[in-house]
């Protein structure tokens, strides 16, 4: 007879978690989020940021980490926490610089210059919302998570890569139509 006391999820092996993230396992990302939350948000909070800003920066950093890991372009030479921490640092530094710039130039800037792009984003977001859940997932997995057709098929339970390909094609076409219906092409010219 022996005694064993388990470790909680937060101590799952680094390597295993990283591997899971690389494979697009969102649960693993949640584990990481929880594990480093205090450590990462503290960085912003102790450098003249609010808790809100801290959370935002940390989430952005994790999304960057997620995408990098997913795309296979990230080879971890340090611990995950060290990497994520440095992303947080950079993001927060940028944000501080942006804030400083804003307060210097303040209201002199005509609003329209910067308002243009978020407006388009909103329209596309609205169009995406009009599409089915599966379509949205296919497009996001393909264009953001950079999943292969095989991965998309596995994740969404499609019969094979051909189904995934067809789905992706049709969903994209549908989205294009929706967007074009709202906007003339001219509006998208930079």
Partner 1 sequence: MDNFEQIEKYVSGRMTETEKSAFESQLTTDPALKNEFALQRSIIHGIQKARIAELKTMLSQIPVTSAVSAGLATGKLVAGVVAATVVATASYFYFKPANTAPVTAKNESIKTEIKKEKPIQPETINSNKQEEVTAATSVKSSSHKPTPSIPAATKAKPKINVLDPTEELTTPATPSAKAKEDVLSATVAVSHVAVEVNNSEKKYSFHYQFQNGRLVLYGAFDDGLYEILEIHGDAPSLFLYYKNSYYLLNEKQTDITPLSAIQNTQLIQKLKEYRSRQN
Most distant pair of Cα atoms in the chain: their distance: 75
Between the CA of residue 64 and those of 61, 115, 174, what are the distances in Å? 5, 24, 28
Distance of CA 39 to the CA centre of its chain: 20
User: Judged by CB under 8 A, which of 128, 163, 165, 174 binds partner 1?
Assistant: 128
Contacts 24+ apart (CB under 8 A), 69-76: 69/18, 69/21, 69/22, 70/21, 70/22, 70/24, 70/145, 70/146, 70/147, 71/146, 72/22, 76/18
Pairwise CA distance, residues 105 & 114, whole Å: 14
Residue ranges in 140-159 that form contacts with partner 1 under rule CB under 8 A: 140, 142-146
Residue ranges in 164-183 that form contacts with partner 1 under rule CB under 8 A: 172, 175-176, 179-180
- C-beta of 158 vs 168, nearer to partner 1: 168
107 lies in the binding site for partner 1 (CB under 8 A):
no
To partner 1, the closest distance from the beta carbon of 143 in angstroms equals 5
To partner 1, the closest distance from the beta carbon of 154 in angstroms equals 17
8 lies in the binding site for partner 1 (CB under 8 A):
yes
User: Judged by CB under 8 A, which of 81, 95, 156, 163 binds partner 1?
Assistant: 81
Q: How many residues bind partner 1 (CB under 8 A)?
A: 71
To partner 1, the closest distance from the beta carbon of 105 in angstroms equals 22
């Amino acid at each position: 007879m022996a005694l064993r006391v388990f470790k909680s999820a937060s101590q799952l092996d680094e390597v295993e978690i990283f591997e899971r993230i690389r494979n697009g396992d969102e649960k693993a990302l949640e584990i990481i989020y929880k594990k480093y939350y205090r450590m990462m948000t503290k960085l912003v909070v102790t450098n003249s940021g609010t808790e809100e800003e801290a959370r935002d920066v940390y989430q952005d950093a994790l999304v960057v980490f997620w995408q990098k890991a997913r795309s296979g372009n990230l080879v971890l030479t340090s611990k995950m926490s060290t990497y994520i921490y440095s992303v947080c640092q950079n993001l927060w530094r940028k944000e501080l610089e942006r804030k400083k710039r804003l307060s210097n130039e303040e209201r002199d800037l005509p609003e329209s210059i910067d308002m243009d792009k978020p407006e388009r984003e909103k329209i596309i977001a609205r169009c995406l919302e009009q599409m089915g859940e599966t379509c949205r997932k296919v497009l996001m997995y393909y264009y953001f998570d950079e999943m292969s057709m095989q991965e998309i098929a596995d994740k969404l339970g499609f019969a094979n890569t051909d189904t995934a390909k067809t789905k992706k094609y049709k969903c994209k076409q549908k989205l294009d139509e929706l967007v074009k219906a709202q906007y003339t092409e001219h509006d998208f010219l930079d």
